[in-house]
Amino acid sequence: MRSIAGPLDERLVFVIGCPRSGTTFLGNAIGSCPGFVDLGEVAPFKAALPRLTGLAPSDAAPQIRRILATTRRLALVGHLRAVEQTPEAAFVAPALTEAFPEARLVHIVRDGRDVVCSLLERAWLSSGRRGVDDAGAAYGSGARFWVEAERHAEFEAASDTRRAAWAWRRYVTAALAAPAQVTQVRYEDLATRPADVAAELARALEMPVPSLSSALSAAHGDSLGRFREELTPEQLAEVEHEAGEVLAALGYLQ
């Protein structure tokens, strides 16, 4: 891997992955280290993503760069290396690396069955759920921009469980197709051996190990394997029907 030494405004870190996979924790942890700042999920960027995904990377990249440069300037954090943690950024990964060639992407992936449990708990995709998120997108069973166009009606008619598995599959496959400068972190490894993950991730991001190791030490494994208690056999069958191929490819299904 070539060095990423260069201006701080070119060396952003993007944390991507399905919601409820640990993106917030990991983004916060990296951003808490000396010399870094966590921008969180930049609302104008998140709100623009449904439109940006329909553009060629060469057309989306200047818009992404403008949004994030404005955010950094208004936040007065130009002297720090920024961390952006919008999960949906996975869907524009090629444009991210075109906008910021010196950027690094970190994909955190978690067992999709546990993610389904967490998404069901939050009810973001549940039928009858009202309200909007911080980017103005509606909660509920409506098809999102990441749902295959020819399957919108199928998504909206699916059970809450299947919609949650659908989301995990789409986010993860988008992240897995991202450009080469992506480092993958497993939530399960983060929760059980944070020091090892810190060493590997610090090397990829070219940052000191001790501060990252300290930040990641707060990870815990209390929710690992929660699907065994929370999902019925029928729900598990739905999850495997919708996302089983990706679960197996990642080693979550034996």
pLDDT bin (cut points 50, 70, 90) of residue 254 is: confident
CA atoms within 13 A on the CB side of 9: 14
pLDDT band at 167 (very low <50, low <70, confident <90, very high): very high
**pLDDT for 13-65, tens place per residue?**
999 999 999 999 999 999 999 999 999 999 999 999 999 999 999 999 999 99
Count Cβ neighbours within 10 Å for each residue of 19-29 and write b for 16 or more, e otherwise: bbbbbbbbbbb
- The domain made up of 8-249 has a fold known as Rossmann fold (3.40.50)
DSSP state of 219: -
pLDDT band at 220 (very low <50, low <70, confident <90, very high): confident
Contacts of 154 (CB under 8 A, 6+ apart): none
> Which pLDDT value is given to residue 128?
85
Least confident stretch, 104-113, 159-168, 212-221: 212-221
Confidence label for 3 from pLDDT (cuts 50, 70 and 90) = very low
Query: Is pTM beyond 0.85 here?
Result: yes
* Integer Cα distance of 63 and 42 in angstroms: 14
Torsion sign across C-alpha atoms 43, 46, 51, 57:
positive
β-partners of residue 109 are: 186
Query: Cβ distance 194 to 216 under 8 Å?
Result: yes
What value does the mean pLDDT take over residues 117-141?
90
DSSP designation for 33: S
